[in-house]
Structure formats: C-alpha cells, structure tokens
Homo-oligomer: A and B are copies of this chain.
Amino acid sequence: MRIMLIGASGTIGNAVGQALSERHEILRVGRSSGDLRADIADPDALRAMFRTAAPYDAVVCAAGLAAFGELHRLTDEEFQLGLSSKLMGQVNLVRLGLSGITDAGSFTLTSGVLSQEPIPGSSAISMVNAGVEAFVRAAALEMPRGVRLNVVSPPWVRETLQAMGWDPSPGLPVAAVAKAYVDSVEGGMTGKVIDARDYA
C-alpha cells in the first residue's frame, strides 16, 4: 500500500511510520519536515498535498493541536486552535482526501481518551477529541467505494511522559499505540473508535 502519514515526525507518527514501513510505502507529511509539507489547519495546503500525492491507499493522521488549560484561563484563540487543527483539520483530511483515495482505502484519525475520561484542564481537548470520534462514527456511514474510516484513541504515551520529565509508568509504550493504527489500516473495521489500550 501507498500510505500518507500526516504528523510523521511526532512521537506517535514516528512509531506508526516504523511499523507500517515494514510492508508499505510511506509518504511522510509534516508541518516543517517530511516528503510533503502541510499544516492540517490549512485547507489549501491539504488540497495541494492530496493533488500531489494521489492516488494513495490510506491516509493516517497523527497530527492535530489542541490546548490544555483551566477553563477560566483558556482563551478564545486556544479553543479555536483545537477546532481549526485537531477537529476540522482531521475532518478536512477526509473531506478533501476522499477523491484521491483508492477503492477500499482507509482513513485513520487520532482522538484521545480525554474524550470520554476528562480531567480538570481538558475541557477544550475533550470537546475536540469527542467531536473527531463522533464525526468518524457518522461519516463512516457515507464512505463510498468501500473506503473505511476509523479513529485511534491513545492514552498518555510512555515516551511522551518521559520527554516531559514526568513519571512514565502510567503511559502506554508508543510501540503498542502504533499497533492500533496498523490494525486500522490493515484490518477490515470501519466507523470504530479504537482504544489503543486494547493493544497493550
């Protein structure tokens, strides 16, 4: 398969790229590095990216920004970041990437367990993650030509906690998280919110 991997240089994206590259051709996309450059918050950049890359068999997104912070401190701009990047950025990957995807191809987006398991400070991120998940469940019902659409919901990743100087022990190793993405790309499911903890 020829797979577009958006957010390829991130902690999760890098692990997903390693796992998928054993059997597939990977087109790595990042905001500032990669085979192609695009910010998912920029629809024009996405259009250009898909035009250049088509046809492709799968689009995997491990990109998308959203702000964490106490509700009374979150600014309008911080709410908007999550809406423009992690939510509509990923929605637009599906809307704009659909015409260039091969029959029975697949989209795999990213949410996060804060969608269903909030903590203080997660109001904007929980909102965005749940929006992505509900979009996937609904839009999967309308995918043409056997195209599949899923979203992986990762928990805290061990390597991310480590890089932030926190206790890594509650985190899931990124190699396990990557298995969830591989299962979405290579398996047959659609419309699913895939809890990466099931791949521990």
Q: Which residues of A contact B (CB under 8 A)?
A: 43, 70-72, 74, 76, 79, 83, 87-88, 91, 94-95, 98, 114-116, 118-135, 137-139, 141-142
Q: How often does this chain occur in the complex, in copies?
A: 2
The residue on B at minimum CB distance from A115 is B134
Contact of A135 with B127 in the complex, beta carbons under 8 Å: yes
The residue on B at minimum CB distance from A135 is B127
What are some 15 contacts across the A-B interface (CB < 8 A)? A70-B142, A74-B95, A79-B91, A83-B88, A118-B138, A118-B141, A120-B141, A121-B142, A123-B139, A126-B134, A126-B135, A126-B137, A127-B132, A127-B134, A129-B134
Q: Is the interface of A mostly helix, strand, loop or mixed?
A: helix
CA distance A116 to B115 in the complex (A): 13
A71 with B127: in contact, given A118-B134, A137-B118 (CB under 8 Å)?
Answer: no
Q: Which residues of B contact A127 (CB under 8 A)?
A: 87, 91, 131-132, 134-135, 138
